[in-house]
């Protein structure tokens, strides 16, 4: 969802400075962590055994940067719990407006294109709330690609769905009606293939949704009220339940 971020949307605690999270605070993946990783079921037992040994899991706090623009790729990441945002470099030294590309809710794995090309990151990944993130080293990702047909199919499907997601994001950028922007953006976060951990309820606050769609919390509240009145969603404590996903995807002014 490529759009200007809210003014002040980067006013997180001092934890926003990037830390070597996967080397200094990461732990091994436990049984409950492994159950939240969808692509593991596509691996043969020997492949899964190696990857489970390589998997690392880390807790990140609101505002903390998991990766930063310009840093070499080291891991392929996925969200086990929480909410991240993908954005450009908001440093004033680079000029231009900060842009939020998309949110990454539970079940989302990202950065495979960067790993495949072996290039530096072209985006920041920042936690919007306390989140649990898993990762495997880039070398393990490439090792799987060389050996696992099931993993190759998973990655190919990821790339195909993500292409569709960003094409849709360009369309959302052209929407000037706030209700439509919120509807289409919510639909993207409920993507069943890219974000299988979301299910029917997305745990997100109005402020967090505002960070992702480039609107104030108050305007997001009005849009959610309109979407709920139309029967497309139901606002619940701490989140949003989707009732009509296709209606959100095709929401018109």
**Matching residue, tokens 């609101």:** 62
Q: Please state the domain extents for the chain.
A: 3-164, 176-249
Q: Which CATH number fits domain 3-164: 2.40.50.140, 1.20.200.10, 1.20.59.10, 2.60.120.10?
A: 2.60.120.10
pLDDT at 8: 36
Q: What is the mean pLDDT of residues 17-25?
A: 60
Q: What percentage of the chain exceeds 70 in pLDDT? A: 83
The pTM for the full model equals 0.81
The pLDDT of residue 19 is above 70: no
The string of pLDDT tens digits covering residues 44-99 is 999 999 999 999 999 999 989 998 999 999 999 999 999 999 888 655 445 555 67
The CATH number given to 176-249 is 1.10.10.10
Beta-carbon contacts of residue 162 (< 8 Å; ≥ 6 apart): 194
Mutual orientation of helices 138-147 and 149-173 as an angle, nearest 10°? 120
**Percent of the chain whose pLDDT exceeds 90:** 55
pLDDT score at 22: 56
pLDDT, position 176 = 67
């Amino acid at each position: 969802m490529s759009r200007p971020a809210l003014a002040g949307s980067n006013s997180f605690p001092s934890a926003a400075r990037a830390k070597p999270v996967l080397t200094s605070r990461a732990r091994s993946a436990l049984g409950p962590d492994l159950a939240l990783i969808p692509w593991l079921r596509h691996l043969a037992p020997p492949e899964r055994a190696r990857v489970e040994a390589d998997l690392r899991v880390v807790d990140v706090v609101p505002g903390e940067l998991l990766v930063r623009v310009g840093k070499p790729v080291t891991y392929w990441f996925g969200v086990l719990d929480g909410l991240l945002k993908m954005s450009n470099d908001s440093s004033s030294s680079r000029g231009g407006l900060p842009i939020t590309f998309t949110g990454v809710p539970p079940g989302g794995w990202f950065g495979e294109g960067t790993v495949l090309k072996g290039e530096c990151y072209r985006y920041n990944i920042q936690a919007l709330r306390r989140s649990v993130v898993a990762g495997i080293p880039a070398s393990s990702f490439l090792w799987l690609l060389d050996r696992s047909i099931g993993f190759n199919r998973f990655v190919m499907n990821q790339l195909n769905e993500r292409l569709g997601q960003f094409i849709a994001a360009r369309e959302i950028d052209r929407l000037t009606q706030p209700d439509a922007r919120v509807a289409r953006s919510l639909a993207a976060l409920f993507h069943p293939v890219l974000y299988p951990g979301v299910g029917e309820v997305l745990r997100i606050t109005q402020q967090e949704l505002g960070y992702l769609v480039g609107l104030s919390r108050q305007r997001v509240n009005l849009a959610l009220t309109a979407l709920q009145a139309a029967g497309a969603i139901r606002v619940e404590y701490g989140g949003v339940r989707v009732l009509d996903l296709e209606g959100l995807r095709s929401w018109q002014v």
